[in-house]
Structures are given as C-alpha cells and as structure tokens.
Amino acid sequence: MSKSINVALIGNPNTGKTSVFNQLTGLKQKVGNYPGITVEKKEGICKLPRGVKAHILDLPGTYSLNTTSLDESVVVELLLNRNDKDFPDVVVVISDVENLKRNLLLFTQIKDLRIPAILVINMADRMRRKGITLDLALLEKKLDTRIALVSTRKNTGIEKIKELIADYKNLSNKPNVDTTVIDPEYFEKLKKTFPNEDLYKLWLVITQDVNFMPIEKKTIPDTASFSTKSKSELKRLQQKETILRYQFINGILKEAYKVDLQAARGFRATLDKILTHKVFGYLIFFFILLTIFQAIYDWSSYPMDFIDEQFAAASEWVKDTLPPGVFTNLIAEGILAGIGGIVIFIPQIAFLFLFIALLEESGYMSRVVFLMDRVMRPFGLSGKSVVPLISGTACAIPAVMATRNIENWKERLITILVTPFTTCSARLPVYLIIIALVIPEGRFFGLSYQALTLMLLYIIGFMAALFSAMILHRVLEIRSRTFFVIEMPNYKLPLLKNVAYTVIEKTKSFVYGAGKIILAISIVLWFLGSNGYSDRFAQAENLVKQRISENGFTTYNREDIAEKFESYRTELQTGPALSEAQLNDSLTLKMESLEFRAQRQEIASFKLENSYIGNIGKAIEPLVKPLGYDWKIGIAVLTSFAAREVFVGTLATIYSVGNDEEETIKNRMAAEVRDESDKPLFNLASGISLLLFYAFAMQCMSTLAVVKRETNSWKWPLAQLAIMSTFAYLIALIAYQILK
C-alpha cells in the first residue's frame, strides 16, 4: 500500500505558488473553501518517487506568520494545530528569486516552528536577465534545509521538488532564529509556565491577532508567574522579531546571493511609468475594461445564443418525444429551463475570468489596484473593486465571483453587496420595453429621450452602488486593516495552463455551487406557475373554450387574428395563381391554425392567472397598487425573481401574446388599460416607477445564490434582498405618487 503524506505549499503572494501546485498536481486537484470561511482551499494529489503519494494543499499567499488577514490566519491556524487532518508532514515554501530576502522571512518563521521545510526558489529563468547569482550549497547550509531551484515557466526543477518531498524525513527541523532574545525575561516566564510547549508556537498563538480582528482561539491564561503583554507591547516585540530575522537573512544573502544591478534595470521601470501614469494609466485601463466589457456583453452573446437555442431545441424535443403530461412539461419547461439558466452564464463567467487571470498573471492587476485605489478608497472600496463593478454591468454573477481577488474582507463584502446595483444586461430587456412604451420619441440636443433615459438608468445604478458602498463602509462594524501596501510583481507572459485552470475552476464552482440552488428554485417556480388549487385552474381548458364560444376571443387576439389572416390572404393573392377552392382551403386552414394558437394562448394566460403564483400575484396587488401596478405586473415581478428578463416573458404569457417578440408584447402592453378606468396601465408614472423598481431591486436568484456562496452565509444575501427590495419599493412608490 502506498503511503500518503501531507504537504503544504506556502509562500508570499506572486511567487508562482499556484503554478508549482498546478505542475505538481496537474488536473488531480479540487477547489473548495475552508470550513466556515470563504478563503479558497485548493488541494490535489501528487505521486512522488518510491511509491509515496502526497496530498498537496495550496495555502493562501502570506508574507509572514504575523497575520493581517483572514487568508493569512488560515495558514497560521494550520501550522499551529498538529491535530488538524491537513497538518503538514512537510512544508514547501515557495519563494521568488528576485525577492528572496522578503520571502525568507516566512521561511525562517516556519522553520522555527520545527516543521520540516523545503525551500523552492522559483522563477530561476529570470536569474540571468536580472544579473542574479546564487550559492545554493551555502544557502542550504546556512538555512539548514534543502533547496530546489525551479522555473515553472520552463518546467524545470519540479522533479527535484518531488524528490525532496519524498525524502522529507531527512530534513532538519532545527530552528533558524532564536526568538527568545527579543525579550529573554518574557520568554523565560513563558517557558516556566508552559514547560512542555514549544516557545515559538506559544509566541505565535499570543500574537496571532495583534494586527488583525480578534479570532477564535484558546487564549493563554495569566498565572502568578506569567501575564500576557498589552497589544502595543506585543506589536513592538513582533517588530523586534522581524528585525532579528532580517539581520539573520541579510547575513546569509550577503554571502550567497549576488545581483548585478546594471543588468537588472530596464523594461519593467519603463512599463510601470506608462501603466501607472496619471493620464495614460487610466486611459489604458479604460481601454482594457472596454475590451472586457465587450467580451462579456458582446462576444459571449454568440455562445449564449447557441446555448439558448440548444436548450429550446432540447425542450421541444422532450415535448415531442416523451408522452404528454405534467412531468414532461416539468422536464421541458422547469428542469431544462433551469439547467439552461445556469449553463447560459458559463460564457460570461469564462470570459471574465479569462481576462482577470490574464491581468493577474501578467502582473498588470497590481498596477490597476495601485491606480484605482485612490479613486475607490473614499467609497470604502478597494482598487480591485473596479473590475467587479464594471463587470457587473454585464452580469452580477461573474462580477460577485471576481471579488475573490480583494484580500480585505470588509472591502470584498462591500463590493459583493453593492455590485448588483450596477445595471446588468438582464435589466436591459425590461428597460428597453418600458422605455419604448412610456418615454416619448423626441430629441434633446440631438440625443433621443429614450437613449438619455437608458443612460440615466446606468448612471443611477452606478451611483447607487458607490453611495451604498459609502454607507456600508461606515455602518459595517468589521475590523480589518485597510493600509495600502501593494507589491508590484514583475511583468511576465501569462502561463496559459494557469489561465486555463482558473477559468475551468471558476466555471465549475459556479455550476456546482450556485447551479443547484438555481435549479431547485426553477423547479419550485415552475410548479407554482403550472399548478393551482382552485376549480378554475382545474377547469381552465373548458372554461376558456366556453368563454370563447360565448364571447369570442379577447379584443387583442381578435384583432391579431384578423390582421394575420388578412396579411396571409394578401400573400396568397399576390403569389402564384390558385383555384378558388384551393384559396378557400388554405384560408380555412390558416384561420383554424390562428384560432387554435389564440385558444392555447388564452388557456395558458387563464391558467397562469389561476395558478399558485397567480393567486400570490393577486394577493399582493394591494401592495403593488400604490406603485401603479396591477396584479398582472405583480405576477411578472414575482416570477422575474428567477431572473429579471423573465418579466417580459411572463407578461407575454399573461397577456396571451404567445411569443416573445418585443414589438408584439410592446403593442399589447400599450393597449392594456386599468380595470377601474380606461386609462393606459403603462403610462409615464407607472413606467418610471417600474424602471426605478428594477434599477434597485435584487431580482435575481442566481446572484443571491452566488452571494451566499461567496460570503458563506445566508445573512448577507438575505439582508441584500431585503434592503434592496425595500429601497426599490420606496423609490418606485415615491416616483409613482409624484408623477401620477
């Protein structure tokens, strides 16, 4: 039986840790969250020499074991807990050859915990270009470890890492630095009080949250011989420890690490000047954002249309092939529509993460964060919030997922909560149809009123996001440090393998994570819309047929049939000559088909009206009436909770229009009058009220599911739903009451 060992990959951010992980594990990896928090957990399996199997854990990037964020505390928690099932038999510390000094700080801390540690010096391919020479033997001796010189780009050194891991039992676990010298008296007392504990481990436990929010841990109790120091004293000691470590590292690197500075300058400095320039920097970023937006909004429409068509075809196929009945309808209209509603987002998610991965991998993202941070900071957001906010104009789902790049939890949470305010593409069908209905066609300085309204809605969405971010920044009592220290990694060509892994992994996590919730809600919504408890629902077909036979079709369908029939007659008369009998037969057949279609539409409309969801719509009519809506709009608002664009489709069913062609639905909506008067239902007041409602309401279950997934709690999505819906309701109410 092969033996399995636990290996933890630890390193500073931007050292190529994930590339090493990918090369060690290939596709034998899975991505999840650490229990209770949303810090990403990546693990994989790697076969090592001599039949050893390694369970590799890729831990979040950290600069030291003095935690400043949730990500970093995950690393410390694991290294301090020998009972954790993932506690490493050996730690592989990944470092970057150009930043070895800073990287070694973390290495020495891990070494001092007496955990066997291997040092991997990555990006070895840059050594010549940067004028770096290393004395590996001396480094190994001074650091008391084994070193692998690696280039993930050139795929060299990976086998060496595997060999060193397999040979981990021969690694020394002696500490590098004697930390007790920073305050001998304090450590002496600590030793006396806890004689069986490792001193450095105790020290890390004591100082674990001095820079960070209080975390759940067993505190070390004060005794007669020992009392813990105040936070500021502990911080001072921590600084002394860091200085001590750098003295140790400097001593080693002075002998073992040489840099020819002349060779090191050049390309990076020039590029940095341009990309972080006050004017060009923003222009370049704007251009890149435009490309991302174009990809999500436009390029992805081709695969999305394709997916849409395939699911529509599959739905038709199911209806034609399976025996008719309610379960067949559920598969065709509920399950397939639900799965389609998940799969259709894949192109947008894939495109967004393709770009994000390219920006991250190339080193450009750090420049963007630097550039945008000063703009976003007053709103309580981070420079990295720009990408989710802008991507949100295409779709909030990938945008919320993109917030994973924001390290600071408070900034990330605020970005997640406000992103759904930005105008996503699903709002567009609703906006376009309502604007076309209620906004006149005039022009203002050459710009159409309708276009201006649409633009205004985009601005309102973006302003709402920024304004609510500012409020949340003040209201949310989450302590997390917001100092701005950013590392500017070197520019490099993105590794396609890493980019591909990111895209696959993000897409998978959406499909499996949020997808199940979306599918379950789709099934419930289908059931509510296709079933009812009343006799009217059960007898829908007979009642509608009886109504048609007594009173004829509804005015709209009557006119629609007449118009289509006339147009068909004209077509026949202007086409190839037909005998009178042929002409009459064709016209009779056409009339029968038009009447059959109208009858099906009226039955569907009647059924929806008397379904559970129809009853709910009628029940909430008193609630939506002050906003200028009737029960039909109420139903559309309810069903569009699945996705905003469903609003238009639902109205099409309720008004028994029967197809989703915008022009037909628009005409039917324009013809709709209020029950109590002959005034049109969709006028400026109710139209603006609807537009504002959709601008602010959280009408998207997929986004809620993703927010739940990203915050690992229902508290945030539910609060988001409640606050956004209430706000939308109030604004819509005010708008209608003023304008009516």
Partner 1 sequence: MNLQSVLVYLTLLVALVYLVNKFLLPKKYRIGRKGTSSGCGQDDCGCS
Residues of the shown chain interacting with partner 1 in the complex, contacts defined by CB under 8 A? 30-36, 41, 43, 85-86, 323, 325-328, 330, 335, 505, 508-509, 512-513, 516-517, 519-521, 523-524, 527, 708-709, 712, 714
Do residues 480 and 213 make contact, with C-beta atoms less than 8 angstroms apart?
yes
The letter for the amino acid at 683 is N
- Shortest spacing between CB 668 and partner 1, in angstroms: 31
Closest CA to 121 of 110, 131, 133, 113: 133
Q: What are phi and psi of 495, to 5 degrees?
A: -80, 120
| Alpha-carbon span 564 to 340, nearest angstrom | 32
Which of 259/524 has CB closer to partner 1? Answer: 524
Do residues 120 and 150 make contact, with C-beta atoms less than 8 angstroms apart?
yes
Which of 111/404 has CB closer to partner 1? Answer: 404
Which of 306/327 has CB closer to partner 1? Answer: 327
Which of 456/520 has CB closer to partner 1? Answer: 520
- Shortest spacing between CB 252 and partner 1, in angstroms: 36
Which of 129/516 has CB closer to partner 1? Answer: 516
Which of 425/507 has CB closer to partner 1? Answer: 507
Q: What are phi and psi of 674, to 5 degrees?
A: -70, 150
- Shortest spacing between CB 336 and partner 1, in angstroms: 13
Do residues 262 and 256 make contact, with C-beta atoms less than 8 angstroms apart?
no
Closest CA to 245 of 59, 16, 65: 65
Half-sphere exposure of 697 (CA within 13 A, CB side): 27
| Alpha-carbon span 145 to 463, nearest angstrom | 55
- Shortest spacing between CB 705 and partner 1, in angstroms: 10
Do residues 518 and 646 make contact, with C-beta atoms less than 8 angstroms apart?
no
Do residues 467 and 306 make contact, with C-beta atoms less than 8 angstroms apart?
no
Which of 461/513 has CB closer to partner 1? Answer: 513
**SS3 readout for 31-84:** EEECCCCCCEEEEEEEECHHHCEEEEEECCCCCCCCCCCHHHHHHHHHHHCCCC
- Shortest spacing between CB 63 and partner 1, in angstroms: 24
| Alpha-carbon span 623 to 611, nearest angstrom | 19
Which of 213/517 has CB closer to partner 1? Answer: 517
- Shortest spacing between CB 333 and partner 1, in angstroms: 11
Q: Which two tokens stand for residue 462?
A: 């973006």
- Shortest spacing between CB 508 and partner 1, in angstroms: 6
- Shortest spacing between CB 245 and partner 1, in angstroms: 32
Dump the DSSP string for 528-552. HHH--SSHHHHTHHHHHHHHHHHH-
| Alpha-carbon span 343 to 305, nearest angstrom | 11
| Alpha-carbon span 186 to 183, nearest angstrom | 5
Which of 509/605 has CB closer to partner 1? Answer: 509
- Shortest spacing between CB 93 and partner 1, in angstroms: 22
